[in-house]
Structure 1
Amino acid sequence: MRPATEEELAVCIRDAKGPLAIMGGGTRSIALTEGEVLSTSALRGIELYEPGALTLVALAGTPLAEIEATLAKERQRLPFEVPDMRGLLGRDGTSTIGGVVAANASGPRRVQAGACRDSLIGVRMVTGDGAIIKNGGRVMKNVTGYDLVKLVAGAWGTLGVLTEVSFKLLPVPAASATLVLRGLSDAQAVAAMSAALGSPYEVSGAAHLPGEGTFLRIEGFAASVAYRTDRLREHLAAHGTVEVEENAARWPGLRDVAAFHGRAGDVWRLSVKPSDAPAITARLGADAVQYDWGGGLIWALVPEGTDLRARLGAFQGHATRIRGQGPGAFQPEPSAIAALTQGLRAKFDPRGLFNTGLMGA
């Protein structure tokens, strides 16, 4: 099913006789779901763009590339640096803005600008009984329904089918510099990234690729970038020699985990306390790892079929299988959280239609 309007979508859901597999562009899905495919790809178009107000409203099936091209003409951008997962997952297709929200897809800039949900200011969606609801607004000052706006980002379509999303935007920075430290161990790299992120120099990216380097990004007006780069170099002197790259060419590869592209094996994504990251990585037995978010995010490439949670045992954080087969792509929830989750799903999807079997649904 590929409805062309919100009303057609609502009818499809009301008339559904069994589970529905919700799909946007199909570039981010990480687990199989049961049921007939319900695509939002025909719900496309930018409905409102006000560069002066730094706001954008688009239908859920609008290609991300179309949105980024429109914003680029005004030297504006989505704040959260959307990862392109096609290389990592070995997929073609077109990423849609609804899929970005459903996955709460957020890149290296999350350490400064927040996640996708932090820039989302309004949504429209269709619930499991076919009702059309809206939440939030189209301007930054409108915070009506703020909690639900946050809730649907990262719910992977299990609470409702998004039809429209609204964002606050940011200007494209005029300049960028990347500070690089070579030869650091994982523990040394996390210490350096923590020192940088804890400084007043507004670091917008902090990543570590073992064997290649530790990377820290500064963005903004040219004079400000130059000043903050010099100060941060001094601040990090105790952590090693600091090189400076005067461009942003490295960051798309870090954002998209390009180091894993074309390599066999399963890919896991771990969200942890940065201070715990080196010890957790040592227990992974991974073929390769990459750190992002100052060590708060670990990407791990492991042999196919590896049950990484069993290998790790108990730890503080979440492990999500991004690529590979097997049960339970998402971290099992504690019983109290699982009860809350099931209550929310019963409220928004009383017939249990949406993405059955995903996220424990």
Structure 2
Amino acid sequence: MFDIFDRIAAEAVERAKAQNQAVALERKIRAPHNRRSNWTGDRQTLHEIGSLIQLRHQGPCDTDDGETYLRAALPWIITKAGGFLSEDHEARVADWCRVSVPRLDRAAIRECIAEARERDGRQRLWWSAQELGDLLRLTTDERERSRITRIRPAGMTPRRFAAYQKGREAVKAKARRIAQGSTPREQSKAQLEPWFALNMSRATYFRRQQAGTLPSQIRDRETVSSAAGTKYLQPATDRSHIAERTVPGPASKPRPSQGVGAVGHTPSGKARAVPPGRAVALPLPEGGVSEHPDMLGGGEWRQIGAPLSDYAGGVLPDNLVRAVRDAQRVRQMTQEAVARQIGVSRPQLANALQGRFGLSRSAAANLLTWLAA
């Protein structure tokens, strides 16, 4: 009875192995062939050490630095050979030395292997990227020319190496932008500042550039191939003539928008600057309006909206501020509406009424006109 169960189990195991082998074979057939499929980080480090030797010595190392190169490469050579327990690890090391450092004798090779074995006993066999760079005295120029990525330059702190990597990424990004047709930053107008050479401000330069009236743009329009002429420029002011300037288009008018009110749709437009002396407001009653300042019966009566013709701009006097507030209250207007009537913004009017800033002459004339309406 037990023999039957053992035979069934053995057959099941054989079937499972056959299925696994079939699946592995199918995956191997489907997988794309890659010659560098066994390329690991250890092989990469060993390859970079060989590239550094090739760069410095134009071939194998023929100086006394061979022992340094062997000490740096030993951990990866031993790993590739199968470890210190492998029987042919010394032969693998000798083969590498024969190709890269042929001047190194067998005694020096065995001494380096013994040192590596002692470090392995202290679990310090492997070099870090910074320790390897310090051992090989790798410079940034050698690192970039050999395209080394797994060894850091000598004497680099983590902060300095991060700044070095950031600078390299910036250089690569700049090269990509130039390849895409962008202007380098050092050739931009913000760095060159061409408006100083033309004796004009930055805003004027860009305004004339948009209008097409810069001297360089005017020279580009000339049809002759000789030296750039100055017939379009006035000799005294260095400005272009009227005929060469861009013709201004018609002034834009406020587009009426439909707003729904109590009596239906009413057209309304955005506020525009009001010319001096053309303020429009609801008129006050004839003779003015008198209002008592104190609801309890105290105080004196005063006239609202009395014209004050001696104000010509600047900080508003107290009596004028009081007259503006009284007229606004009697006419039942908002501060935004009053500011629109006299051609200023609401914050500007609020600052003027608080005494923070003054009004210009045109705004003062509009204010007096609005009070006397």
Structure possessing the higher relative contact order (Cα contacts under 8 Å, 6 or more residues apart)? 1
Greater strand share, structure number: 1
Structure whose alpha-carbon radius of gyration is higher: 2
In the superposition, the TM-score normalised over structure 2's length comes to 0.21
In the superposition, the TM-score normalised over structure 1's length comes to 0.22
Greater helix share, structure number: 2
